[in-house]
Structure 1
């Protein structure tokens, strides 16, 4: 825990549109090194040459390494919008904070991963600065990248020492192979751990959301809780508040609604005392005003459609119909558009309805409804 506190206090923050670019380049170099180590080991094995212990470990676990490499590649794009800090190795380069957390932890435990050790390290980090929801999810691929980098470095060292077998190089090869063995074991343990449970246990935002005055949030299933967390992420990205502060503001609004509940309107009062009312329902407008959210243009357009659905649909169909008729008449070169225009209204209106429906499904994707978790049975109450 103490090491986590020290590492977090040493960070210097910066702003970069895409701090994941240097990380992506590192991943490409690491991938090339790991693939090169695999090819060398396979070639040497086919030639009947003596393989170092590092190479044997890499060959025996090639599927695991390829799988971890693939997962890291898929996740590195999501690092683009994460908070970034200056790397201690190169203070002119910004690195996603999640990767710095992963690398700091791996160095602190000498690349011998255990989830309980990561929990203690994170506790120290979050005493200084709470991590965002996306950062916690980015920890697994960040740890995979850090481990792959170490394996690539140790594999090269082991191969070099294996090629010139002296007493000194034999000791170096033994140390390198020991590290490769430990890192591969850690990589396997990393993939076997329950990350959903770990994430919820160590998310500051999750702890605040579980204070839901209605008591509903902890009873929901994982996907529904994730729906609330994504709403918190969205509001935080549109305001100057952190995710934890957004969640706390929503809980505060729900508590106030519960305190001022009206007996004659118990159903509406109970609804307003529910956290979801402010995160994914009508109360989100109040929460956005309280936070001073500035949504992007597309979000504003979606909200306008939801606010005036009848006007959007009717006017949209009419304007699209008129536009289609006009385009068809112009293409036919008809000078007197009245009668041909009337004849084209019916097919054009059908086409317009289809176009507006397609546009609507594009602008307003289907929303998942929250649900309670009854996987262990329905409670008696």
Structure 2
């Protein structure tokens, strides 16, 4: 049978079977990896200001989306790992990205466990969330993490991250809770990226396996009965295979150079691709580029997981915290010489006051520092020798808190004022409570006596 002479007729038959475009299965449903233009540290700094200006916060609370997404990512990554492990067992050819992911999957598992441990239910609901954009309804700091990962192709370093967040805060200051959430949000963003690239790896593997199956069947038919090869090609056409880069590249790799009979399916594919202005060579090149890009994304993401575990996040947060930098202006530098636990206590007090009265945290810190400087001036004049009023802690956690609230022009509830009085004068409150109870008991007994009953009988009747 002369395949070359009858090729036009065969192609016409195949085109008839495929009329309607059912073969065009696309990967549009897949989420693209977090892969944007690569930015240097200087560019990330500029991007921080642009991003801050574009963010708009939503009012109220929303359901926690991050835990659900983490669970979905975990499930997807474990399925990808299972498929890749099976491929190794069957001695199938692996792409470099697949090898990277499988070799380091123990680290991915560890980071997923860490993320679940540090992301309790309802945690993200306490964080400011975005009103618009791709991350609408999710925490603002999560979008910052996504941008960090995207513009590093899965990679980040603390210097670039620090400059990015610091530049963001020149437009809008982040809350302390958001700063402390940066590590967990970065971890979630890297896991998200690994899931997206992992699914691409799994999809590409499935396409290559499909191409291998059809290539083996065609080669076997061409060797045994070349006249029936057209029927196998027709079967493949009716199955509507995905004419995507992985499938086409693998089929071409298996069939090219194996004689005129096996050139028939490639000629048909070439004709189908030409309708979209594509060629087999272009898809082969595209597949090679995608595999290289996926390898870089996987290796960068694995490296970022290691950076997350090795970074001193306490030092990082203090270096970018607007509240921290404000409190460091404490007179005589006392605040800066305190240990981390004490400084953290002051920062949390600032956070609590701001949350209670719906104020910006930097504003609370600035007022405390202003009062401390005013207190230092009074101390310098010798009017108050104990020196407590010259320290920010006096206004954040001590008896100077009412002065801070007055300076902030906030209204303190009567119940809170009562609690504060109880904390400042515990002995007086304790003795007063005893006196009050004694008076009530004495009054009750006196009423019983005047009514003609004995105290013992009255007490017995009470039980």
Same fold (TM over 0.5): yes
Matched, 1:78 2:123: yes
- Which whole-Å CA distance do the structure 1 matches of 2:304 and 2:142 have between them? 17
Deviation at 1:147, TM superposition (A): 0.7
Match of 1:330 in 2: none
What does 1:267-278 correspond to in 2, within 5 Å?
Answer: 267-268=385-386, 270-278=387-395
Secondary structure of the residue that 1:211 maps to in structure 2?
A: coil
CA shift, 1:234, in A, is 0.6
> Structure 2 vs 1, CA of residues 161 and 248 (structure 1 numbering), >3 Å: closer, same or farther?
same
Moved more, 20-29 or 2-11: 20-29
RMSD of aligned Cα (Å): 3.2
Query: Which of the numbers 131, 156, 168 marks the counterpart of 1:113?
Result: 156
Distance 1:259 1:60, change over 3 A: same
Query: Which among 339, 354, 373 is matched to residue 456 of structure 2?
Result: 339
CA drift at 1:301: 6.2
What is the distance in 2 between the residues matched to 1:322 and 1:69? 62
Which deviates more from structure 2 when the two are superposed, residues 152-161 or residues 220-229? 152-161
Residue 95 of structure 1 aligns to a residue in which SS? coil
CA distance in structure 2 between the partners assigned to 1:239 and 1:69 by the alignment: 36
User: Which structure: larger Rg?
Assistant: 2
Q: Which of 182, 197, 204 is matched with 1:161 structurally? A: 204
Tell me the residue number matched to 1:14: 58
Deviation at 1:193, TM superposition (A): 1.1
Select the residue among 160, 171, 176 that pairs with 1:133: 176
Deviations 1:54-98 (A, max 9, x none): 3433333233222322333323643222222234226xx322111
Shift of the 193–58 alpha-carbon distance from structure 1 to 2, 3 Å rule, reads same
Q: CA distance change for structure 1 residues 319 and 122 in 2, over 3 Å: closer, same or farther?
A: same
Corresponding residue for residue 178 of structure 1: 296
- 1:278 is displaced (CA, Å) by 0.4
Residue aligning to 1:33: 76
Q: Does 1:221 align with 2:266?
A: no
When structure 1 is superposed on structure 2, of 72-81 and 118-127 the one drifting more is 72-81
Give me the whole-angstrom Cα distance separating, in 1, the residues matched to 2:414 and 2:203. 57
Work out whether 1:303 is the aligned partner of 2:303.
no
Q: What TM-score results when the alignment is normalised by the length of structure 1?
A: 0.76
Higher relative contact order (CA 8 A, sep 6+): 2
Corresponding residue for residue 238 of structure 1: 356
Structure 1 residue ranges (4+ consecutive) displaced by more than 6 angstroms after TM superposition: 295-298, 317-323, 340-345
- Please give the secondary structure, in 1, of the residue aligned with 2:357: coil
Provide the C-alpha distance between the structure 1 equivalents of 2:439 and 2:85, rounded to a whole number of angstroms. Answer: 68
What is the CA distance between 1:125 and its match in structure 2? 0.8
273 and 37 in structure 1: CA distance in 2 versus 1, 3 angstrom threshold:
same
Name the structure 2 match of 1:367. none
Give the match for residue 189 of structure 2: 146
Equivalents in 2 of 1:344, 1:189: separation in Å?
72
Residue by residue, what CA displacement relative to the aligned partner does 1:144-187 show, whole Å, maximum 9, x if unpaired? 11110110111111122123335344543342232111111111
1:22, distance to aligned residue in structure 2 (A): 2.3
Shift of 1:316: 5.8
Worse-superposed segment, 207-216 or 175-184: 175-184
For structure 1, the residue ranges without an aligned partner over 5 or more in a row are 324-335, 349-381
Matched, 1:261 2:304: no
Contact 1:161 1:172 survives alignment (8 Å): no
Uncovered stretches (5+) of structure 2, i.e. residues with no partner = 1-44, 209-245, 250-283, 441-452
Q: With the length of structure 2 as denominator, give the TM-score of the two structures.
A: 0.64
**What's the secondary structure of 2:47's corresponding residue?**
helix
Q: Distance in 1 between matches of 2:161 and 2:329?
A: 25
Deviation at 1:249, TM superposition (A): 0.2
CA deviation vs aligned residue, 1:94-123 (integer Å, no higher than 9, x gap):
221111111122222222211111112112
Using the alignment, how far apart are the partners of 1:6 and 1:60 within structure 2? 38
Rounded to whole Å, the distance in 2 between the matches of 1:233 and 1:127 is 19
- CA deviations over 1:322-369 (Å, ceiling 9, x no partner): 99xxxxxxxxxxxx8832777999xx9xxxxxxxxxxxxxxxxxxxxx
Q: Please name the residue that 1:192 is paired with.
A: 310
How far apart, in 2, do the equivalents of 1:107 and 1:292 lie?
A: 43
Q: CA separation in 1, counterparts of 2:83 and 2:109? A: 16
Number of aligned residue pairs: give it: 330
